Structure 1
Amino acid sequence: MLERLELEAFLTLAEELHFGRTAERLHVSTARVSQTIKKLERHIGTPLFERNSRHVRLTEAGRLLREDVRPAYDQIEAGVERAINAARGVDRLLRVGFLGAAAGQLMAQAARLFDRGNPGWRVRLREMQIVDGLRRLRAGDVDLLVVSLPHHEPDMVTGPVLFSEPRVLGVPSGHPLARRDSVSLEDLAAVRMLQVAGAFPDYWRADRTPRLTPAGRPVECGPEFETLQEALALIDAGEGAFVMGAQVTRFYARPGVTYLPLSDAAPLEWAPTWLVTNTAPQILAFNQAARSVAVRLPPPAPVGE
């Protein structure tokens, strides 16, 4: 039987792929996280992570364990939270998923505003990974998800844009492009573009990881990744590059990755989405709260400031 800390440490490290950030989230020391993971690996009998001085990655055994354990852990956590909410007189939960730190901050403020205006309801925020956000929305793990556009899924409704940000290209700091002040979409032909794992709509892949530059030059495909932290680790290791929102310059800075403004790329926009079959009025109430918060936010600063 696995202990709670072992499960929490494993699942958090599987998301962060960084021992320091995992320790911060769990409010324990980095040494405690390392000891806990080693104990879990001894218990299972195989390494769950590949780690060296440059990156942390899931092994195949670790990936399988995450896929098997995550749904059960989430179900237990949801059950405990329902019991706590019942004791507090909260009748219903609105589960809101988000991707990235900027969306997380906005959703936290929107949740507080929503909770004040909707007695008997409470928002539960859930951080999603890029590879499983849509799947978990369709599975009913969350009621609403904030996604980056474009988003044209026939079984989902897309709400109004909440915020936008400039696009940047994350490249290894040792790459020749890293010495430039900015790059263009034509420069994508000079790097290997990392690919998001799993089945993603063609229109989304064409927007984020195009196969050709605007002038028709081929763009080489790089390794696949499942989480943002894994993408950054791959970039740091010199395995490729990826297009991201400029929020990474504030929330995900690391010495081995250089973020370059994309001078001719349209801003990256973020909007809420939910299933067509979910007609709960609280969905629209939360969107209104999110918009009220978003319009008060200052415009994003230019990349590099």
Structure 2
Amino acid sequence: MEPAATARPPARDRALGRQLRDDLEPHHRAMAAAVARATATARGIDGVLHVGFSTPPAGEIVMKAAEALHTSHPDLAVEICEVPLSDPYGQLRKGEFDVQLTEFPVREHDLGEGPALLTEERVLAVAASHPLSVRTAVSLEDLASVPLLTVDGEVPDYWLEQHVPTHTPGGRPIARGPAVTNMQEALMLVAGGKGALLSVAHTAPPTTPGPASPTFRSRTRSPSATAWCGGPRTTPARSGPSPGRP
């Protein structure tokens, strides 16, 4: 399938997108430095920067930066939006996002990606009633004992295999559960015992009833980085323009 054509975003938004891509870090002190540099770039500029995020931890990072940036430069807005599971790169390609903080891997010829900014442990979210819920850790072979929720939508095969593998490392088949399109739907089905979900730690808030999330004994980790339109050797400043947005 050919990717949608993209158009060059405004220079002010592209500059800020590049600044966030280069500077955002998972720790608060690094976050403060990133915001300070983004503010310097934004000084005297009015506009909106659109940022997508794929996981709650990534969304929290972007939100903290956006709040601090708005305080120091109230005429600049940073709008953030969760990326749907069913279409992990579609909004970025359509120009609805200037930059996106997303989980690896990203193997799209028309998308560039930066270095890892955030690394989270992977967990297996299961219903509180499931036998695996009482464990503090599970192995990848345990995936054969519970159906995994799958994703319904425009998702690349490699992305689907990363999030919903078909077999364990030992070759045992992994059953499929219901298909979902977003994270809230997935957590609801997990809590109801309809299947399990491979996700990063802190996907569900601590007060969410139902799902339990044992970690993997192998300490499997999932890095996240920024992605943008324009191919692997470009930066957001060289990306194509964003149709549909001024």
Q: TM-score, normalised by structure 1?
A: 0.57
What is the aligned partner in structure 2 of residue 238 from structure 1? 193
What is the aligned partner in structure 1 of residue 21 from structure 2? none
How far off its partner does 1:183 sit? 0.6
Do 2:46 and 2:76's aligned partners in 1 also have CA atoms closer than 8 Å? yes
TM-align CA RMSD: 2.7
Structure 2 unpaired stretches of 5+ = 1-43, 240-246
What is the aligned partner in structure 1 of residue 30 from structure 2? none
Do 1:90 and 1:122's aligned partners in 2 also have CA atoms closer than 8 Å? no
Do 1:94 and 1:143's aligned partners in 2 also have CA atoms closer than 8 Å? yes
What is the aligned partner in structure 2 of residue 97 from structure 1? 52
Q: Secondary structure at the match of 1:106?
A: helix
Partner deviation per Cα, 1:183-237 (whole Å, 9 max, x = no partner): 1000000000100111211212222211110110010111100111111111111
Q: Does 1:260 align with 2:214?
A: yes
Q: Residues of 2 paired with 1:130 and 1:165: CA distance?
A: 18
Do 2:113 and 2:228's aligned partners in 1 also have CA atoms closer than 8 Å? yes
Q: Does 1:187 align with 2:181?
A: no
Q: Residues of 1 paired with 2:235 and 2:202: CA distance?
A: 32
How far off its partner does 1:108 sit? 2.1
Partner deviation per Cα, 1:12-51 (whole Å, 9 max, x = no partner): xxxxxxxxxxxxxxxxxxxxxxxxxxxxxxxxxxxxxxxx
Do 2:106 and 2:113's aligned partners in 1 also have CA atoms closer than 8 Å? yes
What is the aligned partner in structure 1 of residue 112 from structure 2? 157
What is the aligned partner in structure 2 of residue 131 from structure 1? 86
Change (3 A) 1:264 1:124: same
Do 2:147 and 2:195's aligned partners in 1 also have CA atoms closer than 8 Å? yes
What is the aligned partner in structure 1 of residue 226 from structure 2? 272
Change (3 A) 1:280 1:241: closer
Q: Secondary structure at the match of 2:115?
A: coil
Change (3 A) 1:149 1:95: same
Q: Residues of 2 paired with 1:206 and 1:132: CA distance?
A: 15
Higher relative contact order (CA 8 A, sep 6+): 2
Q: Which amino acid aligns with 2:143?
A: L
Higher strand share: 2
Q: Residues of 2 paired with 1:253 and 1:186: CA distance?
A: 29
Count residues with an aligned counterpart. Answer: 194
Change (3 A) 1:279 1:188: closer
Do 1:92 and 1:122's aligned partners in 2 also have CA atoms closer than 8 Å? yes
Q: Residues of 1 paired with 2:87 and 2:113: CA distance?
A: 18
What is the aligned partner in structure 2 of residue 172 from structure 1? 127
Q: Which amino acid aligns with 1:168?
A: V
Higher Cα Rg: structure 1 or 2? 1
Q: Residues of 2 paired with 1:253 and 1:205: CA distance?
A: 29
Do 2:228 and 2:235's aligned partners in 1 also have CA atoms closer than 8 Å? no
Q: Quick one: which of 136, 141, 147 aligns to 2:102?
A: 147
What is the aligned partner in structure 2 of residue 46 from structure 1? none
Higher helix share: 1
Change (3 A) 1:179 1:116: closer
Identity %: 36
Structure 1 unpaired stretches of 5+ = 1-88, 284-305
Q: TM-score, normalised by structure 2?
A: 0.70
